[in-house]
Structure 1
Amino acid sequence: MNDALAQVPALAASHILLAAAALVLGLLISLPLGVAATRRPVLRRIALGFASLVQTVPGLALLALFYPTLLGLSALVGGRIPALGFLPSLLALTLYALLPILRNVIAGLGGIDPAVIEAADGLGMTPAQRLRLVEVPLAAPVAMAGIRTAAVWTIGAATLSTTVGYPSLGNLIFAGLQTETTALVLVGCLASAVLALGTDALLGLVEAGVATRSRWRVLGPAALLLAVVGGAAAYRYWPSRPAIVIGAKNFSEQYILARLIGGRLEQAGYAVRYREGLGSAVALHALEDGAVDVYVDYAGTIWTNAMQRHDTPAAPRMAAAIDSWLRARHGARVVGALGFENAYALAMKPRAGVMSIADLAGIAPGLRLASDLEFLDRPEWRTIRAAYGLRFADSRAYSPTFMYRALSGGQADVISAFSSDGRIAADGLRVLADPKRAVPSYDALLLVGGRRAGDARLQAALRPLIGAIPVAAMRQANFMVDRDAGKVSPDVAARWLGDQTARSGAQKPATR
């Protein structure tokens, strides 16, 4: 918990910079567009229609749409456009900021008494003079209300940037939700709320200053806002020792392994940073693009999702093929298998006559499936469904922690469990056999990105982990985090796991 809280200043600084950049870009687009749209009804309908349409798209979906778009554009210009991190977050948040600013600018300008406009024209003012001296001052209070709304929305939505690899206060929220550490969720939410409310209060003072035509009441709060953003930039980009960036996906095991790796690298003298809460595709591309230097992925995930392979060779052959594939793409490499497998497996409470997935085929239409957030869209599910002819009465996706809760609470009958999860034994679940071998090997592989592939000291620090984590130890570490609803943090579980690996010594990777 303390290690996580130590990240708050850096995460808050990144959060502020992203939200500020998105709001400024939104202003640069919305203000002139709003003025032009006030004069042209067709443009007004198009602009407001587009901005309203953007608001109907969920934030996560908008971020997801920018990823393939930027990836395609990057391919056209030789890979110089980052598809992860700051840029997609900036573009998505900017689009979200458009509607309140645009709508209020148009409403403010459109609500000016026509007699005032006629009087300005009668004085011989040019359109530019009329806009600057008459229309803008009268419309500013209404426009400021839209800017305040956009600022609050942007700061709140910036927490979603975690999912595409940009650090924000969302790191704490996503980690806390997954590990059931309520304190982390509260810290992330409260910090984001303080930023939003503080910004809204300062912009409210600016709005009051605009309404009373008081220059100092405008400049004072505006200067304080600029000072906060400048301080965040100084904190974020102040020269410091280069750090190894350790990636992690969005479930307990990944948080634990990231902290285990980070601990070893810190002992070797490296500074480390964490990028956690990433989706599978985002994590791999972050490694390839250099946004992440080290993380753990699973052989079957890369094999089926990224490489689009449908055969199921033995684990060593699969790992060798993945290593060759990674080296050929961006110079990344597989350091080795950690010694355990975290395979997808269907699990349920013991039921007479149901020992394998094949036994489910006849009764699946009367059962409900709960999966993690990715499983229902993954190739493995399509392969399992086709191999065994499964058709469930209902299928719903949950975060992994709540997936197990759905099963224990009676909202689901079958789950897409993970073979290294300690909750399988703790909840007395039966893992169904896969006689047709529809699911490939899921050995946990330690991956290093291209810019660190030649760092012999780094690999020497990590190599003792290869083959040293038995599945029983990984299950216990996972269960330590998941069992007590946040009483044991991933940091504590990682230290425990590190002690176990030190005692066990090198062991051969587990195979199916």
Structure 2
Amino acid sequence: MSDAWARVPALAAQHLFLALAALALALAIAVPLGIRSARSPRLASIALGGASLVQTIPSLALLALFYPMLLWLSGRVGGGIPALGFLPALLALTLYALLPIVRNTVTGLTGLDPAIREAADGIGMTRRQKLWLVEVPLVLPIVMAGIRTAAVWTIGAATLSTTVGQPSLGDLIFAGLQTQAWTLVITGCVAAAALALAVDALLGLAERAAGERRWRRVGAIGALLLAAMIVASAPFWPSRDGRDRNVVVGAKNFSEQYILARLIGERLSRAGYRVTYRDGLGSAVAFGAVATGEVDVYVDYAGTIWAGAMQRHDVVPRDQQVRAIADWAKKSRGVTLLGTLGFENAYAFAMRDSFARARGIASIADLAAQAGRLRLGSDLEFLDRPEWRAIRDAYRLRFGAATPYSPTFMYRALESGRADVISAFSSDGRIAADRLVVLSDPRQAIPGYDAILLIGPKRGDDRAFIDALRPLLGRIPVAAMREANYRVDRDADKQTPEAAARWLAARIGL
């Protein structure tokens, strides 16, 4: 638990900065929009309808949608617009915060007694004076209730910004869920809840002080929130030791990626670089991040780039595949494929050994003959990936049911009998530990999945950076990777990804 809490201050600072920035932007949009909407029923219908529509979109999906939108916009204007990290998270959270503020502002203003406005008109107040001296003070409690609701929503939803590469307390939650390190999950949840309660309490104090016309107290609370934003923005300040020494290591959302990211980060730290991590990235997001320079280095898999980014569906020898990927990545995206790490992590269909033997299933072809009576458990991406379509079409696979799980819970589903077969990963230590059988691929529908080290355009000519990572190439056998993975995934004596990375480094002599 102490290691988890040690990560909280830096992540909480960035989490708070993101949430307060989104809330401030939402206020700048929602309050004027609410005031105008209160005077125009047609505008109110459009504004409230649009804000309500945003609320129907799951927050995770809304965050993901901004990635292709910003990528497209950046291409239209010649680049320079970040599609990952702070900006998409800010925009998505701002949209999410609009509804309670707009709705409460409109409700408060339209609900005022007409006699109050008539009295203000009777003493000769202008429209502006009537708004700020009469209407706003009267509806302030209702508007503040909307602001406080938006603040709590925003701080809670900010945990999902991890998925688009923005550090937050969600880093702890997502990492804990994937590795079943429940202390990380609890720590992230408690810290996020504490931030939400603290901000809500400060806004409550500001509301009461404003109601009593204690403007100095309101100003002090506003200054405190502003100071919190300034302090929280510290991770974004330029570094005095030069930005060329700051590097970002990316990782997808499963144990092996967390381990390899820490292994890479340790090598770079020894070489004098200041390392930060972007964990929990999806496959398309991760490659886009390294191509745009928002991530400097990460490990991907040849088959993922081949079938996803390159849209290739043929199966070629693994060395030929890696060379083709290296050439394409450099020419089209400026990404350097430094080399392979020495092991393959391919998709594979796995079953409990006793179940497979009882049904006479040894290959995917055997599986296809019985698939209509079986349940597939897949990882979160597999059923939407081109690899699945290639395998499905090659073998005419049609399962009776297919359910996506996070990688950790996918194996639990197989163990508990909720799934009969899973889309496993060939380097996963749980295959041997759970005594699973991996089905052969006689039609060679699954491409090679060598682990490859990808470097962003900014680091392609950085010799010190490359020299720090080159000793990793070809050094990691699949048996060592499986053991490292299992150290994180096992139930007893579970290790952190950092500890597993240190073990792996010692195991391969680095």
How high is the TM-score relative to the length of structure 1? 0.96
| TM alignment of 1:16-415, pairs within 5 A | 16-234=16-234, 236-237=236-237, 239-241=239-241, 242-350=245-353, 351-352=356-357, 353-415=360-422
Query: Which residue matches 1:470?
Result: 477
1:457 aligns with 2:464: yes
Give the letter for the 1:129 counterpart. Answer: Q
The alignment partner of 1:163 has SS state of helix
The alignment partner of 1:436 has SS state of coil
Deviation at 1:314, TM superposition (A): 0.9
- Greater CA deviation, 82-91 or 250-259? 82-91
Please give the alpha-carbon distance, in whole angstroms, between the structure 2 residues aligned to 1:206 and 1:486: 48
The question of whether the paired residues in 2 share the 8 Å contact of 1:368 and 1:393 is answered with yes
Query: Which residue matches 1:506?
Result: none
User: Can you list the C-alpha shifts for 1:144-186, whole angstroms capped at 9, x where unaligned?
Assistant: 0100000000011011111011111111111111111111111
Give the letter for the 2:128 counterpart. Answer: A
Please give the alpha-carbon distance, in whole angstroms, between the structure 2 residues aligned to 1:217 and 1:268: 50
Q: Do the aligned partners of residues 441 and 245 (structure 1) sit closer, same or farther apart at CA in structure 2, a change above 3 Å counting? A: same
User: Can you list the C-alpha shifts for 1:418-460, whole angstroms capped at 9, x where unaligned?
Assistant: 0000000111111000000111000000111110111112111
Please give the alpha-carbon distance, in whole angstroms, between the structure 2 residues aligned to 1:240 and 1:344: 44
Deviation at 1:216, TM superposition (A): 2.9
The question of whether the paired residues in 2 share the 8 Å contact of 1:25 and 1:94 is answered with yes
Give the letter for the 1:110 counterpart. Answer: T
Give the letter for the 2:397 counterpart. Answer: L
Query: Which residue matches 1:508?
Result: none
Give the letter for the 1:73 counterpart. Answer: L
Deviation at 1:210, TM superposition (A): 2.0
Please give the alpha-carbon distance, in whole angstroms, between the structure 1 residues aligned to 2:247 and 2:372: 49
Please give the alpha-carbon distance, in whole angstroms, between the structure 2 residues aligned to 1:311 and 1:118: 76
Unpaired runs of 5+ residues, structure 1, are 504-512
- Greater CA deviation, 244-253 or 205-214? 205-214
The alignment partner of 2:369 has SS state of coil
The question of whether the paired residues in 2 share the 8 Å contact of 1:10 and 1:236 is answered with no
Query: Which residue matches 2:14?
Result: 14
Give the letter for the 2:321 counterpart. Answer: M
User: Can you list the C-alpha shifts for 1:349-381, whole angstroms capped at 9, x where unaligned?
Assistant: 122310000001121111110100000000011
The alignment partner of 1:405 has SS state of helix
Please give the alpha-carbon distance, in whole angstroms, between the structure 2 residues aligned to 1:5 and 1:338: 32
The question of whether the paired residues in 2 share the 8 Å contact of 1:141 and 1:210 is answered with no
User: Can you list the C-alpha shifts for 1:456-494, whole angstroms capped at 9, x where unaligned?
Assistant: 121111111111000000000000100126831001110
Q: Do the aligned partners of residues 25 and 230 (structure 1) sit closer, same or farther apart at CA in structure 2, a change above 3 Å counting? A: same
Deviation at 1:225, TM superposition (A): 1.5
User: Can you list the C-alpha shifts for 1:87-117, whole angstroms capped at 9, x where unaligned?
Assistant: 1111100000000000110111112111000
The question of whether the paired residues in 2 share the 8 Å contact of 1:255 and 1:276 is answered with yes
Give the letter for the 1:376 counterpart. Answer: L
The question of whether the paired residues in 1 share the 8 Å contact of 2:4 and 2:183 is answered with no
Unpaired runs of 5+ residues, structure 2, are none
Please give the alpha-carbon distance, in whole angstroms, between the structure 1 residues aligned to 2:410 and 2:20: 36
Please give the alpha-carbon distance, in whole angstroms, between the structure 1 residues aligned to 2:234 and 2:75: 33
The question of whether the paired residues in 2 share the 8 Å contact of 1:208 and 1:217 is answered with no
Deviation at 1:240, TM superposition (A): 4.5
The alignment partner of 2:509 has SS state of helix
The alignment partner of 2:417 has SS state of coil
- Greater CA deviation, 412-421 or 83-92? 83-92
The question of whether the paired residues in 2 share the 8 Å contact of 1:179 and 1:485 is answered with no
Deviation at 1:329, TM superposition (A): 2.5
User: Can you list the C-alpha shifts for 1:69-101, whole angstroms capped at 9, x where unaligned?
Assistant: 111111110112111111111110000000000
Deviation at 1:127, TM superposition (A): 1.2
The question of whether the paired residues in 1 share the 8 Å contact of 2:372 and 2:399 is answered with yes
Please give the alpha-carbon distance, in whole angstroms, between the structure 2 residues aligned to 1:363 and 1:11: 48
Please give the alpha-carbon distance, in whole angstroms, between the structure 2 residues aligned to 1:231 and 1:313: 53
Please give the alpha-carbon distance, in whole angstroms, between the structure 1 residues aligned to 2:318 and 2:35: 62
Q: Do the aligned partners of residues 390 and 299 (structure 1) sit closer, same or farther apart at CA in structure 2, a change above 3 Å counting? A: same
- Greater CA deviation, 220-229 or 33-42? 220-229
The question of whether the paired residues in 1 share the 8 Å contact of 2:70 and 2:82 is answered with yes
User: Can you list the C-alpha shifts for 1:381-401, whole angstroms capped at 9, x where unaligned?
Assistant: 111111111111111111000
**Number of aligned positions between the proteins:** 503
Deviation at 1:239, TM superposition (A): 2.8
Give the letter for the 2:91 counterpart. Answer: L
User: Can you list the C-alpha shifts for 1:261-305, whole angstroms capped at 9, x where unaligned?
Assistant: 111111222221111111101110100111110110000000000
Q: Do the aligned partners of residues 414 and 240 (structure 1) sit closer, same or farther apart at CA in structure 2, a change above 3 Å counting? A: farther
How high is the TM-score relative to the length of structure 2? 0.96
